[in-house]
Copies of this chain bind each other. A is one copy, B any other.
């Protein structure tokens, strides 16, 4: 860490230096014309940056290292593969998670599950609880939705991914689902993250719609700090001024994650854009850019879906996407 201090106030500077050395840090001082630079050597993790930056002689604090540790590739250079029900998620594979936005009925979820399995999907997604902007919109089937997902799993063998909404649901989700999804709006629901750190179940952590890549990795760090290290990151677009799409999918985030972290990362083109005709080209681009998988919304009757039908594709289109992805996965050195 580097602390830039103003030239005036030498007493305050002495106080600051002795505080820093008392914490076991070496302080190297470079005296410039307008500012003095303090270069700190040692473990600065426990330093309270807020306290230091509030010091009136401090002009700027410059961070040399990334603030995440367990999620950081520097301390864990080998890419992590996560195994869920005998399926590997990570380098060498391309995971396809498919299914409807929300579970609506047994017939619906089982039909879709069979279709996406036949096309080659390896996980089934489906929402039992739905975060909706309006209190007047369909909120999901709740516990009944989880039961229906379990039936679909039994019928197809596909492990299931579903979104958790609050801490009270954790026990039930650990029991029922194979991967617990944390939605974009909950990426900084820190109480939830802490509790998920205590369990042993893979977490699919979506990027918040206004989160930076660093904040996203810090949210993974929250869960990992608790001991649960099986995190799959999921890019799903950020909020920008562009109006054609619901959000702007940031595919640059994938190679950045690959460089900065060891965690696997997948892409959700359906929620990112909100437009079904963009799913196919963006699924191809996700594979080409180096993602470990995609999550795609598939509904047998999009025009009757109880939520987000506009972004859902039909099973036939899903077949087409899978056909396009297969040869490209070969080029990328991934099995599909």
Contact surface of A with B, Cβ cutoff 8 Å: 2, 4, 28, 30-35, 37, 39-41, 45-46, 48, 50-51, 53-56, 59-60, 62, 64-65, 67, 74, 131-139, 165-168, 185-186, 188-194, 208-210, 212-215, 218, 221-222, 225-226, 238-245, 248-256, 259, 272-273, 277-278, 281-282, 284-290, 302-310, 312, 324, 327-328, 331
Q: Verify B284–A288 contact, CB threshold 8 A.
A: yes
Q: Verify A222–B34 contact, CB threshold 8 A.
A: no
Partner of A281, one of B64, B135, B242, B254: B254
**Distance (Å) between the CB of A233 and the closest chain B CB?**
14
- Report chain B residues within 8 Å CB of A242: 212-213, 238, 250, 253
Partner of A37, one of B2, B56, B248: B2
Partner of A303, one of B55, B64, B132, B286: B55
Q: Verify A50–B308 contact, CB threshold 8 A.
A: yes
Q: Verify A288–B290 contact, CB threshold 8 A.
A: no
- Report chain B residues within 8 Å CB of A253: 242, 244
**Distance (Å) between the CB of A185 and the closest chain B CB?**
4
Partner of A2, one of B34, B62, B218, B243: B62
Chain A facing B: main interface SS: mixed
Give the residue name and chain of the B residue nearest to A237 (CB). B252
Stoichiometry, copies per complex: 4
Give Cα distance in the complex from A193 to B186, angstroms: 13
- Please judge, given known A-B contacts A185-B188, A213-B242, A225-B136, whether A4 and B285 are in contact too, CB under 8 Å: no
- Report chain B residues within 8 Å CB of A131: 188, 190
Q: Verify B35–A64 contact, CB threshold 8 A.
A: yes
Give Cα distance in the complex from A153 to B245, angstroms: 40
Give Cα distance in the complex from A62 to B35, angstroms: 13
Q: Verify B39–A39 contact, CB threshold 8 A.
A: yes
Partner of A191, one of B62, B166, B193, B221: B166
Q: Verify A303–B51 contact, CB threshold 8 A.
A: yes
- Please judge, given known A-B contacts A62-B62, A166-B167, whether A303 and B240 are in contact too, CB under 8 Å: no
Partner of A132, one of B185, B190, B273, B327: B190
For the complex of A and B, the 10 pairs showing the least CB-CB separation, nearest first, are A54-B309, A210-B210, A30-B39, A288-B288, A28-B30, A285-B289, A284-B288, A166-B191, A285-B285, A135-B225
